[in-house]
Amino acid sequence: PGMGLNSVDDSKEGIEKFLKRNPSTCFIAEENEKIVGVIMAGNDGRRGYIYHTAVLPEFRGKHVAKTLVENAMAALEKEGITKVALVVFEKNQNGNGFWEKIGFTVRNDLIYRNKTIAQMERIVVNE
């Protein structure tokens, strides 16, 4: 819930492409050989970005997401990255609460813009 996914970037092929480009900054959390959390992070050589972070509801509040973020941040720092950014939907109260709790601040001086260059379908995940 609260994530924005699409049929191109978040397809199996799109995620494989991202993981090949960012092999050392993406992590999963497992329990009993089951994936219970994931973080997709990468960088452009100057700035780090966290793209997706998700934890199964029954594992929330157990520091899974915080540990994933700490691992991704350490990996980005190891690659020489000194600042990390991310985007959270305004209505994602749980997500915004989490990011604020672990020290990510809101920037009110920016306007986020994007433009689609390939046709894709938006995938809604339990909004």
In the structure, what pLDDT confidence band is assigned to residue 124 with cuts at 50, 70 and 90? low
DSSP the chain: ---EEETTTTSHHHHHHHHHHSTTS-EEEEETTEEEEEEEEEE-SS-EEEEEEEE-GGGTTTTHHHHHHHHHHHHHHHTT---EEE---TT-HHHHHHHHHTTPPPPSS--------S---EEE---
Tens of pLDDT, residues 44-74: 999 999 999 999 999 999 999 999 999 999 9
Tens of pLDDT, residues 12-32: 999 999 999 999 999 999 999
Q: What is the pLDDT of residue 114?
A: 85
Taken in order of first residue, the domains within the chain and their CATH numbers are 4-124 (3.40.630.30)
In the structure, what pLDDT confidence band is assigned to residue 8 with cuts at 50, 70 and 90? confident
